[in-house]
Amino acid sequence: MEKMWIGALGLSSLLGIFGSLVAAENATLAHVEIDGNAFFDSKTGERFYIRGVDYQPGGSSNLTDPLADIEICKRDVPKFQDLGLNAVRVYTVDNTQDHTECMQMLAEAGVYVILDVNTPDSSISRSNPGCSYNADYLQTVFATIDVFANYSNVLGFFAGNEVINDETNTNTATYVKAVVRDMKKYMRARNYRQIPVGYSAADVTENVQLAAHYFNCGDDADARVDMFGVNDYSWCGKSSFQVSGYSTKVKAYSNYSVPLFLSEFGCTKVTPRPFTEIGSIYSTQMSSVFSGGLVYEYSNEANNYGLVQIDSDTSVTTLQDYQNLKSEFESTQNPTGDGNYAKNNNVSTCPTYEAGKWEANNTLPAMPSAASAFFSKGAGEPMGTGYPTQFRCGDTNLSDYFTADAASTTQSASLSSSSASEGSSSSSASSSSSATSATSSTQSSSKSKGNAVAAAEVPTLFRAMAHVWNYVL
């Protein structure tokens, strides 16, 4: 790394890089790798099934990074162990923070992390996806990769969550697929482990299968997802493999060539939830196609999908859903052997463009040219969770305005923080969850990062504030 670039990184970036290197040395888990349409433990060679929960305590109304608070991790990791989990999905993290202790604690507990790389203010916009796909947005994504790439218990990254949530915004898929491509190329350019990159889809009857095939089609392997998640709430109460529609889904995805799993499940039409779907998810009924799933969600928020009620930073109260899920996990073993996975399924055929039904192009936009510098120098200063990028149209890399030379800057800047927008899982035959992730939004908050902008030259700050003010207007 060039000397002058190190000078511009800032203390928080250096601490984050150092923390990642320490984590790489201390990690106790072998990374999970992909073969065909299944996950495998890279050390033992055993088939890996995701037994996890979606994890964002506080939800969108009180957005916090659970992997940066050691007290929260001390509170929750033992509960993950008690449930028998091996994975958690986290929707939003603050890439300015140090995650070393929590990631190590999770690794020691045998828990992997599936991480969404977006934030409420920095994501592909449903209303203007082309504008939101810009160099500043990619900087935030790449900076998050920088922070987490060296933890061996990162199972994968999600490039988007429910960006397509009805039949009117399928055009957004083109830009999410470009982000998948850019993330994979960035990791290769930075000599990181090629961590799987995927997409988490809303179970929209009209297009969820089209989305699955679109993200897994084409000649460019970098643009194809390595894994695909479906947010599915079709099994309600004491249903069955047939009645729930699970059997239909297994048949529909039988030729899918990459790992498929339920990135959210747990219908609340019947409460407390009995979680009887566990018996089918981890059986040979589904193991040839699906590799487990994640229960929505760990903490009880306003939507009442929780397994626990958070009492304080140090204590939780387990709910009946928790006890039911624990009982189902304890009584259900993974299929023996390789679960009849498919090693050599062909990639999908790209869906045909059809106005009003499927409007994603097969020709992807070129990466914004200003972002190419990140490939050689790294993403630079992380900007955290309140850095708005959705309406920064054009090829200009506005994050330059927020990057300061440590030798000549003393002015601290603090711009207003952002609030998270709440996504929703859609399914015509299921209950809808209020997702804590805001990886896509119909409108952008016109607020900028506060504490992450630790130092900025006064003229630079004025220019940055002028640009932010333009977005407000």
- Residues labelled as active-site residues: 162, 264
For Cα atoms 430, 213, 290, give the angle at the middle one, nearest 5 degrees.
Answer: 60
d(CA 112, CA 92): 16
3-state secondary structure of 126: coil
3-state secondary structure of 265: strand
The residue type at 400: D
* Cβ atoms within 10 Å of 415's Cβ, excluding its own: 20
Please say whether the dihedral angle defined by the alpha carbons of residues 131, 192, 439 and 225, taken in this order, is positive or negative.
positive
DSSP-assigned states of every residue in 267-293: --SSSS---TTHHHHTSTTTTTTEEEE
* Alpha-carbon distances of 259 from 6, 213, 415, 426, rounded to whole Å: 38, 13, 41, 22
Give the contacts of 251 (CB within 8 A, at least 6 positions apart).
none
DSSP-assigned states of every residue in 363-406: SPPPPPGGGHHHHHH---S---S----TT--SS--GGGGG---T
Greatest pairwise CA separation for the chain in angstroms: 66
Question: How many CA within 13 A on the CB side of residue 430?
Answer: 27
Confirm if 216 and 256 have CB atoms less than 8 A apart.
Answer: yes
**439: nearest Cα among 124, 138, 18:** 124
- Please name every residue paired with 48 in a beta bridge, in sequence order, or none if there are none: 39
Give the contacts of 238 (CB within 8 A, at least 6 positions apart).
270, 274, 276
Confirm if 170 and 208 have CB atoms less than 8 A apart.
Answer: no
Peptide bond into 297 cis (omega under 30): yes
